[in-house]
Structure 1
Amino acid sequence: MAQDSLFSSDPVPAGSHPRLVLRLIQQDKMPLWVLLLAAIVGILAGLVCGLFESGVSWVIAQRGLLLADRPWWQLLLMGFAISALLGMVGYFLTHTFAPEAGGSGIPEIEGAMEDLRPVRWWRVLPVKFFGGICTLSSGMVLGREGPSVQIGGNVGKMVADLFRLPKEHGHALLAAGAAGGLAAAFNAPLAGILFVMEEMRPQFRYSFLAIKAVAISAVMATLTLQNMKGQHPVIALPHYDAPALKALWLFLFMGAAFGVLGFVFNKLVLACQDGYLALHQNKRHRFVAIGMLVAGTFGVLSLFVPSVTGGGTDLIPQLMDGGYAMATLFVIFSVRLVATLVCFCSGAPGGVFAPTLALGTLFGLVFGYIFHAAFPDLGIEPGAFAIAGMGALFAATVRAPVTGIVLVTEMTDNYQLILPMMITTIGATIVAQWLGGRPLYSQILERTLRMAERLRLADTSKAG
C-alpha cells in the first residue's frame, strides 16, 4: 500500500511521486499566495483610504467656495442647508443599505473576526465611502480613521472571497486589511500592525502567517498613501525636548486624570447611543431627520466657531501655537467633548479616533499650562503634555497603550517623548481598569450584538 506520509521510513512507490510533489507544491505555495494577496489588500486599502481622504477634502473645499463672501444671514441659511443635505445622504445610505456602516466600523471588524458579524463588503464599501465623505465634510465632529479601518477590513474580505481562500486565510486578510486601513489613515504603519495585535487581540487569530500578512498590508498601504499624499507626518508639530527626570512624576499624575476621563467618556458614549435609539427607535425617517438636524447645526458652527467642529487633526497644530488662554482651552475641550458624543453616537458613518486625539491634546495642554505655572523651575513645555495626552486618552478609552504610544509618535514625529508618553498612557490604562472600565469598541460590539438579537426575536415573533 502506498504511503502518503512525508515522514514515513518505508519506501514510496514510484507511481506516487507525482502526487507527493503536487502536495508539496500546494502546501508550499499557499502561504506565499496569502502574503501576495495581503500586499494587494494593502495597496487597495491605501488607495481607497487615500481617495476617501481626498474626497472629504474636496467636498469641504467646494462647500467653502459656495459659502465664500456671503453675508452672515446667507452663511447661516446656506451653511445649514448644505450640511443638512450632506448629512441626509450619509444617514440615508447607512440606514437603507448597510446599517453596519454606521459609526466607526471597528466593532464590526472585531465581530467579523469572531464570526459574529457578517461582512457584506459589496454594500459596506460604497456606503462607507460615499456616506462617510458626506458626513465628515458636513462639519460634524467625526474622524476618518475608524471608517478607514472598516474599509480596509472589507477590502481584505473582498479579496479573500474573490479568490475563495479558506476561512483561516480569509480571517488573516480581514485583519491585514484593517491594519492597512489604519496605517493609511494615520500614515503610521507600525501603529496599524500593533492596533490589530493589541486592541483586537481577543479576535485576532495569531499565527506567523497572519502576523506577516498584517505587517505586509500595513507597509504596502503606507507606501501607497505616501505616493499619493507625500512623506510627512499627519500632524505637523514642533519637536519638543525630553522633559527632565524630576518632572516625569507629573506625567504619571496627568495619566491618572486621563484614566478617569477615559472611563467617564466610555460610559457617556454608551448612554448617548441609547438616548439616540430612544429618539429615533430605528425608524428611517426619524433617524435621517435627526441626522440632518445634527449635520446642519455643526455645518453652521463650522463657519462661525471652527475650533469646536471637524475631526480635530487640523485643530491640533493650532493649539500648539500658544495663542489660546488656558480658560479658552478648557471651554473648547468641554464643547468638543459634548460635540463628539452628539456626532459619533448619532449613527453617522464616521469615527471617534481623531476627535479623541483632539480631546487628549486639549486636556493635556490644560495640564501643561497648570504645571508650567506651578513648577516654573522644571522648564516644562506645555506642548509635551499635550502630545502625551493624545496617547493617554486613546489608551484609556480603547485600552491599547502600546498602540497609543506608537501611533502618536508616528503621527507627530516626536520620538524623544516616548518615555513620558509611556508613563502617561500606562497610568491612564491602569486607572481606567481599576475603575472597572472596559475597551470602548468591545462594549459597542456587545451592544450591537444585543440589538441584533432583539431584532431577530422581534422578527421571529411577527412571523409566528
Structure 2
Amino acid sequence: MNSIQSEDSSDLPLDTLRVLVVAAFAGALVGIVGGAFRAALNFITSHFLAFSAYLHSIDGEWFVPGFIVVGLITSICVGISRMLVRLEPSTIGSGIQHVEAVMHGVAKPSPFRALPIKFFGGLLSIGSGMALGREGPTVQMAAIIGSECGKLTRLKVVEQALLYTAVAGAGLSVAFNAPLSGIAFSFEEISKKISIKRLMVSFAAVTSGMIVFRSYFGNSIEFVVGDLLPDLSISLYFYILFSVLLSFIAVLYSRTIIGTLNLSDSFPAISPVNKAMMIGFGLGALAYFYPTLVGGGDIQVQSLLSEDYFLFPLMLLMIGRFFLGPISYSTGVPGGIFSPILLMGSGIGVLFVLAVNPLLSHMALGQLDPISFALVGMAAFFTVVVRAPLTGILLAIEMSGKVGLMIPLLIASVICTTIPVLLKQEPIYDALRDRAHP
C-alpha cells in the first residue's frame, strides 16, 4: 500500500509521458477486447433466446421436452465456465472485488491467463441466461491488460499497480459506452482516491479505449429514451419518498447477495462446479418458459424505458430478479452485478409511479413520469449497493442521454448514501473483498 501511495512522487516529465503512452495503448486494447466481448455476448444471447423460441414452436415433436434441452445447455455452459474459474481463482464472480483487493495491497494482480478465462467464461455464463452483467468481466480484463502492458514496457512496480487499477475504468466505459462513468468509477470505487497522475492515466486510457471502441463497434446510446414528462410541483417530495423506500429494498438486496454466497458455502460436500450446473439447469429451464426473467437485464431495462410494461408482470419480474441475481452470482462464474441492479432500480421506479399515480389522479394533482423515476431508480439502487453515487448519476445520464434529472439524481444520491450507512450496510465490493481476503 505504501508503494501505491507514492505514485505521485516526483517523476521526470519523460517518465510521466511514458506512463501516459502505455495507458493510452492499454486503453486501445481494452476498446478492442471489451468491444469484442460485448459484440460476442450480444450475438450469443440473441441466438440463445432464438433457439429457445424455436424449441417452443416444435415442442412435442421431440422425445425430450424443450425446457430440458435449454436447461441442459445452460447447465453445461455454466459448468464449463465454473471449471475455467478453477484454473485461476481470481476470476471468480465479478472480478471487481479482486481489482480493489490489488489496490488495497491484499492481493496480487491477476496473471494474463485470467483474461481468456474471464472472456470465454463470461460468454458461456451470461450468454446462456444467467442473471449477471458484462461489466465485471470487462473491468477485470481491462485491469489485466493495464498490468500486462506495464510489465511489458518495464514500468516501475508502482506504475504497474497504477495501470492495473486506473485502466480498469476504461473497462467500465466500454462495457456501457459511458466514458465519464468509467473515470468516476476508477476513483470513487476502485482506488478511492484522486491524484493528478492517476487522473491523467485514467483520462488517457478511457479516451483511447472509447475512440477504438466507437470506431469498430459503433456509438449508439445504451438505452433509447423518449421525451420525459415535466415534473410536478410536488415531484421532489415523491423523489425523496421513493429514494427512502428504495434504499431499504436495495440494502436487503445487498444482504441477499452475501446470504446466497454463505448459503452456497454451507454445502461443502457438493463441488462448486456441480452447484453451478444445478443452478444453471434451473435458470435454463426458467429461460424456456419466461425468457424475460433471465439474462443480464439490458433488454428488460430497454422495455421499461420504452413504456412496454404492465403492473402485474412487472411485479413478478422484480420479485423474480430480486432472487435470480444473487442466486446466479452464488455460482462463482464470471459475471457482474451492475446490469442486474440497474434493472432492479428501474423496475422499482416504474412500480412506484404505477402505485402513486392513481392516487394523484384522484386528487387532481397530475401524473408522475414513470421513466424519470426509472432512471433515478437506476442510479439510486446502484448507489445503495455499490456506494458510488457519482458513478451512479453519470451512468444514468450517459446511458439514457437525459441530463434534466440532475436535481432528483442528486437528492437520491444523498439519501441512498446515508441510509445504508445508518443501517450499517457495507458496500457490496467491500463485502465481497472481505470474504475473499479475510
- TM-score between both structures, scaled by the size of structure 2: 0.92
Q: CA deviation at 1:234?
A: 1.2
Preserved contact between residue 372 and residue 382 of structure 1 (Cα < 8 Å): no
Q: Does 1:75 align with 2:66?
A: yes
- State the partner residue of 2:8: none
Secondary structure at the aligned position of 1:122 is classed as coil
Q: CA deviation at 1:200?
A: 2.5
Say how many residue pairs are matched.
419
Q: Which has the larger radius of gyration?
A: 1
Q: Which of 392, 396, 411 does residue 384 from structure 2 map onto?
A: 396
CA separation of 1:104 and 1:42: change in aligned 2, threshold 3 A: same
Q: Which of 318, 326, 336 does residue 303 from structure 2 map onto?
A: 318
Preserved contact between residue 241 and residue 417 of structure 1 (Cα < 8 Å): no
Q: Does 1:447 align with 2:431?
A: no
Q: Does 1:262 align with 2:250?
A: yes
- State the partner residue of 1:198: 188
Amino acid at match of 1:324: Y
Amino acid at match of 1:87: V
Q: CA deviation at 1:303?
A: 2.4
Amino acid at match of 1:229: F
Q: Does 1:272 align with 2:260?
A: yes
- State the partner residue of 1:168: 158
Q: Does 1:409 align with 2:397?
A: yes
Distance in 1 of aligned mates of 2:284 and 2:38: 19
Amino acid at match of 2:74: S
Give structure 1 stretches of 5+ with no counterpart.
1-25, 451-464
Secondary structure at the aligned position of 1:50 is classed as helix
Q: CA deviation at 1:385?
A: 0.7
Distance in 1 of aligned mates of 2:172 and 2:308: 31
Q: CA deviation at 1:391?
A: 0.5
Distance in 1 of aligned mates of 2:381 and 2:122: 24
CA separation of 1:120 and 1:417: change in aligned 2, threshold 3 A: same
Give structure 2 stretches of 5+ with no counterpart.
1-10
Q: CA deviation at 1:62?
A: 4.2
Amino-acid identity (%): 26
- State the partner residue of 1:184: 174
Q: Deviations over 1:311-349 (max 9, x none)?
A: 101111212344433232122101111101100122111
Q: Does 1:143 align with 2:128?
A: no
Distance in 2 of aligned mates of 1:201 and 1:412: 27
Secondary structure at the aligned position of 1:420 is classed as helix
Q: Deviations over 1:64-97 (max 9, x none)?
A: 56552431554222211211111111011002x1
Amino acid at match of 1:107: Q
Q: CA deviation at 1:168?
A: 2.0
Q: CA deviation at 1:287?
A: 0.9
Q: Does 1:364 align with 2:325?
A: no
Q: Which of 115, 131, 135 does residue 121 from structure 2 map onto?
A: 131
Q: Deviations over 1:258-295 (max 9, x none)?
A: 211222122221121111112246x7xx2111111212
Distance in 2 of aligned mates of 1:83 and 1:303: 11
- State the partner residue of 2:6: none
Amino acid at match of 1:32: L
Distance in 1 of aligned mates of 2:276 and 2:247: 31
Preserved contact between residue 368 and residue 383 of structure 1 (Cα < 8 Å): no
Preserved contact between residue 360 and residue 393 of structure 1 (Cα < 8 Å): yes
Matches within 5 A, 1:54-453: 54-64=39-49, 66-67=51-52, 68=54, 69-71=57-59, 74-95=65-86, 97-202=87-192, 204=193, 206-280=194-268, 286-376=271-361, 377-450=365-438
Relative to structure 2, which stretch is displaced further, 61-70 or 127-136? 61-70
Q: CA deviation at 1:415?
A: 1.1
Distance in 2 of aligned mates of 1:378 and 1:194: 37
Preserved contact between residue 103 and residue 191 of structure 2 (Cα < 8 Å): no
Preserved contact between residue 59 and residue 137 of structure 1 (Cα < 8 Å): yes
Distance in 2 of aligned mates of 1:256 and 1:227: 41
Distance in 1 of aligned mates of 2:58 and 2:212: 39
Distance in 1 of aligned mates of 2:220 and 2:47: 25
Distance in 2 of aligned mates of 1:405 and 1:234: 15
Q: Deviations over 1:114-160 (max 9, x none)?
A: 22112233221011011111001110100001111111111111111
CA separation of 1:240 and 1:120: change in aligned 2, threshold 3 A: same
Distance in 2 of aligned mates of 1:89 and 1:216: 36
CA separation of 1:425 and 1:327: change in aligned 2, threshold 3 A: farther
Q: CA deviation at 1:201?
A: 4.2
- State the partner residue of 1:16: none
Distance in 1 of aligned mates of 2:312 and 2:416: 24
Q: CA deviation at 1:229?
A: 2.4
Preserved contact between residue 320 and residue 383 of structure 1 (Cα < 8 Å): yes
Distance in 1 of aligned mates of 2:13 and 2:102: 28
CA separation of 1:315 and 1:66: change in aligned 2, threshold 3 A: closer
Secondary structure at the aligned position of 1:233 is classed as coil
